[in-house]
Structure 1
Amino acid sequence: MGKWGYKPFENDTAADFSGDLDEAHESERLGLLWAALSAVAASDGHVDAGRAEVAIAAAAVVARGFPDGEQFQSAVCGPMQSIPPVSSDFVTLAVRAVNRLLDGDNDLSDDWSGEPEGEHWNGNLRRLGRILSGEQEDSPEGLW
């Protein structure tokens, strides 16, 4: 796993997914997001790092239009092409995927638990879930 930070697009897999979104025809982009989120949200077993990283990136893309959603975007590795507006079903699926990664068995939680920035990764993922759920927070400092 090539990672250089704890934010959604700060790993090779998410950066590649971003490139896939940009290369896809605009009419196919929502399908790619849906597939990425579904692969984790519908999983009952262990989620490998690659699927988890792509799902987190997809959830960050869904958060683009939310208040404070810009903090999960990347000017370097995030998708540059337009993404059609997402429906409430996408938001629900993104929340389920994020919660699944926070509460379920997955490689990323295992990997980050031993890292010095593990708490930052976990806090960032929790904040993404809260923003997608429409929860407002008074202070982001409490998450770190």
Structure 2
Amino acid sequence: MGTWDTGPFDNDTAADFAGDLDKAAPEEREAMIRGVLKRAAGPGDFLGIYDGERAVAAAALVVAQHPDGTAACPNYGPSKPLPQLPADLRMLAVDALDQTVSHRSELAEQWGEAANWPKWRQDITRLRAVLDPPIPPQKEALFEI
């Protein structure tokens, strides 16, 4: 089937990753998520499509546990509960998402050729914004001289 929509788990690779998480022992799940994010965020010449799809799914799982986040896909995401993920995964997920949309990403290249590229990019931006919200501009204080 491949890819059927723009969501983090709306492709075979991410759905399979969710299944792998469900099959894994509870104490192994955090390490699996961390490994996927590290692989995507790490240095390399090119990020393959499957690593990119898994990274987006893993980042969505980190977002799901953030106070400002939303639940991961109930249909294709993991059905078994995940352990509480450590906060340090947030910045790792940001780095992985940044690589996923970079010029060195096969996934971004493929989506760039699709009609619904803007929607996919918007979904990635939304995930990233939860994990690393922009700092609001500060108003300059007015001082009397």
Which bin holds the TM-score, normalised by the shorter protein? 0.7 to 0.9
Alpha-carbon separation, structure 2, partners of 1:11 and 1:52: 11
Which protein has the larger Cα radius of gyration, Structure 1 or Structure 2? 2
Structure 1 segment 1-144 matched on structure 2, within 5 A: 2-70=2-70, 73-135=72-134
Q: Which has the higher helix share?
A: 1
Alpha-carbon separation, structure 1, partners of 2:103 and 2:37: 15
Alpha-carbon separation, structure 2, partners of 1:19 and 1:90: 21
**TM-score for both structures, normalised by structure 1:** 0.88
- Quickly say closer, same or farther: Cα 1:32–1:7, change in 2 above 3 A: same
- Quickly say closer, same or farther: Cα 1:115–1:80, change in 2 above 3 A: same
> RMSD of aligned C-alpha atoms?
1.8
**Gaps spanning 5+ residues in structure 2: where?**
136-145
Alpha-carbon separation, structure 2, partners of 1:128 and 1:45: 24
Partner secondary structure for residue 97 of structure 1: helix
Alpha-carbon separation, structure 1, partners of 2:83 and 2:114: 36
Q: Is the 8 A contact 2:102 2:108 kept in 1?
A: no
**Is the deviation greater in 11-20 or in 78-87?**
78-87
In structure 2, what residue type is equivalent to 1:115? A
**TM-score for both structures, normalised by structure 2:** 0.87
Q: Is the 8 A contact 2:103 2:109 kept in 1?
A: no
Q: Is the 8 A contact 2:62 2:90 kept in 1?
A: yes
Deviation sequence 1:57-113 (CA, Å, 0-9, x none): 000001112245226x21110001111111121111101101111234111111111
Alpha-carbon separation, structure 1, partners of 2:116 and 2:39: 26
Q: Is the 8 A contact 1:102 1:126 kept in 2?
A: no
Alpha-carbon separation, structure 2, partners of 1:134 and 1:83: 24
In structure 2, what residue type is equivalent to 1:131? V
Q: Is the 8 A contact 1:38 1:93 kept in 2?
A: yes
Q: How far does residue 135 in structure 1 lie from its aligned partner after superposition?
A: 4.5
Task: Give % identity.
Answer: 33
